[in-house]
Each structure stands twice: as structure tokens, then as C-alpha cells.
Structure 1
Amino acid sequence: MPRRVTPPPPLGRPGQKTPKRPLARRRKGARISLTRAQLAGIVGLTAIVALLGAYVLGNRHPHKPTVATAPPPSGTGKTSPRLPSAPPVPTVPPPEQHAEAPVPPASPPKTEPPKAEPGKAGAAWRRNAVPSPQMAAPAPGAAHARIVLVIDDLGVDRPRSTRAVALPGPVTTAWLPYAHDLADQTRAAKAAGHELIVHVPMEPVGKADPGPGALTVNLSDEEVQRRLEADLASFDGYVGINNHMGSRFTANEGKLSIVLAELSRRGLMFLDSRTTPDTKGPELAARYRLPLVSRDVFLDDDQSPKAVQAMLAKVEEVARRHGTAVAIGHPHDVTLTALEHWLPTLAAKGFTLVPLTAVIAATPGGT
């Protein structure tokens, strides 16, 4: 049987209790170790939090450069999510870059008339003009004020056109280009001492029909040019044109400029019948250096004898006040009858009947 070993008695005096200090020390050491571990954990956690915070703040910094992420190895089948990048901030230009340059006005077709070759076109209206008394432009109120009488719409109604040609001249006769036998009719008018112009049909405002081949604003520029050339080829010996109706067309700067540019190229003149107050004739004639005359009085808008007589009196009044009056009438029976009685009285009243070209020199662009 093994021998039982008796442990040695505790140190100290007899009867004294065994001190508990070694156990307390052990417990205290355990607590100290636990506290150190906790402190180490807290310090580690704090460090992790600090690193995370620095990472987050670093990513939010506006000047942090973008780090390119390498694509995943091929064959993984996974793609890293790509964060949307912020849109670039637009650069605001200096204030002067916001100001728009002035836009030049739109130029109508053929803004510059073709240059006439010397001796080729020249002033064709002068070559075809009817001789008239050589007189200076009279001052307002002076004796022998000038009156221009224009008869429109000739050529279609042959009997009334013949009656108009029989008026004592010089009368300015305006012939519709779609009438028949214009060569013979205009030749007879020229032989009677009357001046000739082409009465070009143009689009009016409203539903009135200006006749075949009229110049309208919806035509192409090329078609306007083609129709005008056809009108100018209908007869010869004329000094220019005037508009038949045309209250819409003559108010259209782009289309009317085609007409006046061609007249300027040919050395012709334009009588603006002024069927609208919005006509662009005067300003375009100045642009193209084109002789232009404007109508003062319409004789027979009202075709009653009393109304026609009142308009003839107005012609005399305008001539006395301005030195010149331009009247337009039509081959209506009432108008022709009134003119047959009125024209022989003009000389005794101090008026001189002159052709249209006689007053060109007194108009802008007419020299």
C-alpha cells in the first residue's frame, strides 16, 4: 500500500489563519488581464472606426482622383458594380459671349440688278418715249402744270381700245399682255402719238381675277421671271410697265424685286399704280436705280358720270398744287365720253398734257 504523504503545515505561527493574499493576487491579476484585453479591443475598434471614417471622408473629397478598378479575371462571370460619375459642371462663358451678333436683314432675290453693258440696254425708255414739249418742271401753282393721262386694260375690248387710241394725245396707253393682235394695236397707238407700256397682271388682295399668266406671290422666283419675260415679249416699243391689280404682289418685297431688277437691267421704267398703300415700289426703285412714277388719281372707281367729273376736277387740283398729276382711267364708256370732252379744255385752263416719260426726270432715279 503506498505511503500517504502529509503536506507540510502552512507557514506562520501556530493558530494563525492562512492568508488569502495569493488568491486575491490571482484574481486581481485576472481582472487586470481582462481590463487590458478590453482596452486593446477598444483601441483596435477605435482604430478600425478611424480608418473607416478616413476612407469614407477620402472618397467624398471633391478633389480625390478616380481610381481605376481592374476588371475581374475572365471566366468569373461577375462584373464589379460601377458607380455613376457626377456630370461635368458646365463652364459659364464670359458675358460678351452671350451677346448675339446682329443678323443682317434677309436679302430679296436678285438684290443687285445685273450691270447693263454700254450700248446694249441703256435707257430703253428714252428710245421709245414720245416727244413732248421741252419744259422745266413747273413750280406748284404755276401755269402750264403737267397732266399725265394713262388708260389701262387696253387690247382685250377692241372697239373701246380703238376709241381710247382716238383720244387727243399724247396719252399713255397700257396694254394687257394676254390680248390678241397686240403688235397691230400698239403700232396704231404709237402712230397716233401715244406712249406704250405693258400692263402686267399681278395678284390682288381678295378674289378678283387679274387674268391669265398673272404674277402671284406663291410662284417660285424662276416662274415669276419666266412670266415677266413672256409679258415683255408680247409687243415692243414700250417704255416700261405698270401693274394690273397687284395689291398683294406689289406689297411683297421679295417678289416685286424680281420684276424691278429685270426692268432696271433692260433700261425700262415702272409706273406704280398704287393699288395698295403698302406698295414696295418706291423703295425698291431707289435700290435698283429704276425710274418710277406713282399714280395720283383713279378716275373711275365709281363709274357714274358725276363721280368721273369729280375725279377730273381732282386731277386739275393736284396738278396746280404739285405741278404734275398722274391720272389712271379705263376704257369704260363713261370714262371715254368724259375724256373726249375734258381733254380739249386743258390748254385753255393752263395745263399741258404730257406722256409718262416727260415726268421721269422729276422723280427719284429718273435721271
Structure 2
Amino acid sequence: MRLFLFIAILIFTQAVQASKVAIIIDDIGYRQTDEAVLSLPSSITLSVLPHTPLGETLAQHAHQQGHEIMLHVPMQALNGKTLGPGGLTNQMNEFEFKQQLDSAFNSVPFAVGVNNHMGSLLTQLDEPMQWLMESLKQRQGYFIDSVTTRYTRAESTADTIGIPSLRRQIFLDNDTSTTGLEKQFQQLITLAHQQGRVVAIAHPYPETIDFLNENLHRLSSQGITLVNASQLLPYNIAQQPGSATTRLK
């Protein structure tokens, strides 16, 4: 009985210690206050909007500090909201789509993956998602679905094309009050213990950055490791030669 209890405790301890969380800060590039993301630990992944006033400089500085950089691509939404520079729409043909994506990548140095900004319409469409994943395959990049619609086709298309992908499981700062941030941070910890691996998305709000700088240490005390997004990619895909994870190691 004692041996069984010891083994159970050992397995539980190993499971807790194996828990990993990736936190992506996106919507970066427009506001001077976005520079505060550079105060965050390098294990925080930063996703930068294309063709923004501060995007290129922030990506360069963040990369020098060891952050993993992603491209936060604006995609057409159901509400018709203006996309801004570098946006992808269903009015584009394949050439226009891929050219726009190439230009976006060129504006954000060191980007190794993509997540969508908005996209509740575009991520439902098979053809644009196929073009996106084909482009990422050429770049040996990965995709993280921000999940702005439950009808998204992005992840399934990525699987078909052979692109390593993940999906966002929790937003940390839809409510930037201390109470709201604490509630979501506790939920992050709970999910990490339950699921082992969690992708969270937050934004460069001053309240969010202050909260994370003050509370990230709580993850390690819970046996949770904060990692870059690429470190959560599926092993059987991410370890293939030339993949994003392989190149980052």
C-alpha cells in the first residue's frame, strides 16, 4: 500500500513538474507604451503587427533579449472592422494573398510563426487557410490559432498541410482590472495542472504587463514552466528536420 502511494505521488509530482505554459503578447507595434513588453522575461513570446510604427524596432530589440517573435497577421472579421496594414481578406486571389503575407513577414524581423489578429471570417474559409499554411510551410514556420470563431478551419488545414500548430486556450486580459487579471491567471494555473500544456494570449496593456511582472514567479512555485510558444508544438511535427522548433534550438 505504501509503495502504491509512493508511486502515485511520484507520478503526480512528475505531471505537475511537466506542466508548461506559453504566454503570447500580441497587438504589438502601434503604441509607445508597447515598449514595456521588453521588461517581460524572455520566455514570453511577442507577436507583432505588420507595418506598424514600432513593430520592426521592437522585434529587433526583443529578439536581442531572447524573446521568440511571431507575426500577428490581421485577418478579415465578420464584423467588417478595418484591418489595418498587412490585412488578409477573402477578396484576394492566391498571388495577392501570399504577396501580402510575404510583405508582412518582411516588416517584422525574426518572426518564426503566425497568429491571427481578428479573423472570425477568414479563418472559417478553406482556401485562404490553405494559402496561409502553404506560405508557412515554405518558411518552416508554425501557426497558433487565436480562435476568434468556433468554426475556425485554421488548425485542421494546418494539420492537412503538415504545419505545426496550436490553439489559444485562454485570454488573460479581456478584463484588465486586478480582479479580472487574477481570475484568469488562476484559471491558467488550473488549466496547466489539468492539461499539462496551455497557450494563453494577452495584450500589451500597462495593467497586464505590470500584473505579469509581479505574478509570473507564481508559475514556477506551482511546478509550471513558462516556455516560448514553439516549445509546445506537437513533438512528432516539431522535431522534423527544418521545423521552426528545430531551428530555434
TM-score (norm 1): 0.59
- Number of aligned pairs? 228
Amino acid at match of 1:149: I
Kindly indicate whether the alpha-carbon contact (under 8 Å) linking 2:176 and 2:208 is maintained by their aligned counterparts in 1: yes
Residue in structure 2 matched with residue 150 of structure 1 by the alignment? 24
**Deviates further, 186-195 or 196-205:** 186-195
The answer on 1:365 being equivalent to 2:230 is no
Please report the RMSD computed on the Cα atoms of aligned residues, expressed in angstroms.
1.9
Counterpart CA distance in 2 for 1:359 and 1:139 is 20
Counterpart CA distance in 1 for 2:99 and 2:226 is 35
**1:190 deviation in Å?**
1.2
More strand per residue: 1 or 2?
Answer: 2
Amino acid at match of 1:245: M
Residue segments in structure 1 that go unaligned for 5+ positions in a row: 1-137
**Of 264, 278, 302, the match for 2:175:** 302
Residue in structure 1 matched with residue 68 of structure 2 by the alignment? 195
Q: Pick closer, same or farther for the CA change 1:294–1:261 going to 2, 3 Å.
A: same
Counterpart CA distance in 2 for 1:315 and 1:285 is 25
Amino acid at match of 1:330: H
Amino acid at match of 1:352: T
More helix per residue: 1 or 2?
Answer: 2
Residue in structure 2 matched with residue 263 of structure 1 by the alignment? 136
Residue in structure 1 matched with residue 47 of structure 2 by the alignment? 174
The answer on 1:208 being equivalent to 2:81 is yes
Counterpart CA distance in 1 for 2:31 and 2:114 is 20
Q: Pick closer, same or farther for the CA change 1:144–1:211 going to 2, 3 Å.
A: same
Amino acid at match of 1:353: L
Residue in structure 2 matched with residue 13 of structure 1 by the alignment? none
Residue segments in structure 2 that go unaligned for 5+ positions in a row: 1-11, 240-249
Kindly indicate whether the alpha-carbon contact (under 8 Å) linking 1:140 and 1:322 is maintained by their aligned counterparts in 2: no
Kindly indicate whether the alpha-carbon contact (under 8 Å) linking 2:43 and 2:226 is maintained by their aligned counterparts in 1: yes
**1:217 deviation in Å?**
1.2
**1:365 deviation in Å?**
3.4
Counterpart CA distance in 2 for 1:139 and 1:153 is 36
Amino acid at match of 1:264: K
**Highest Rg: 1 or 2?**
1
Kindly indicate whether the alpha-carbon contact (under 8 Å) linking 1:249 and 1:255 is maintained by their aligned counterparts in 2: yes
**1:140 deviation in Å?**
8.9
Cα deviation 1:238-277 (Å, max 9, x = unaligned): 2111111111111111111111111012211111111111
Residue in structure 2 matched with residue 184 of structure 1 by the alignment? 57
**1:187 deviation in Å?**
1.6
Q: Pick closer, same or farther for the CA change 1:147–1:336 going to 2, 3 Å.
A: same
Amino acid at match of 1:157: R
Cα deviation 1:52-90 (Å, max 9, x = unaligned): xxxxxxxxxxxxxxxxxxxxxxxxxxxxxxxxxxxxxxx
Residue in structure 1 matched with residue 152 of structure 2 by the alignment? 279
**Of 203, 210, 218, the match for 1:337:** 210
**1:180 deviation in Å?**
2.1
**1:184 deviation in Å?**
2.5
Counterpart CA distance in 1 for 2:125 and 2:195 is 29
Counterpart CA distance in 2 for 1:182 and 1:334 is 21
Cα deviation 1:20-69 (Å, max 9, x = unaligned): xxxxxxxxxxxxxxxxxxxxxxxxxxxxxxxxxxxxxxxxxxxxxxxxxx
**1:237 deviation in Å?**
1.5
Amino acid at match of 1:205: L
The answer on 1:325 being equivalent to 2:198 is yes
Higher RCO structure, 1 or 2 (CA under 8 Å, sep 6+): 2
Q: Pick closer, same or farther for the CA change 1:307–1:181 going to 2, 3 Å.
A: closer
Residue in structure 1 matched with residue 104 of structure 2 by the alignment? 231
Kindly indicate whether the alpha-carbon contact (under 8 Å) linking 1:257 and 1:284 is maintained by their aligned counterparts in 2: yes
1:233 aligns to what SS in structure 2? Answer: helix
2:233 aligns to what SS in structure 1? Answer: helix
Q: Pick closer, same or farther for the CA change 1:140–1:325 going to 2, 3 Å.
A: farther
Kindly indicate whether the alpha-carbon contact (under 8 Å) linking 1:177 and 1:198 is maintained by their aligned counterparts in 2: yes
Counterpart CA distance in 1 for 2:164 and 2:38 is 25
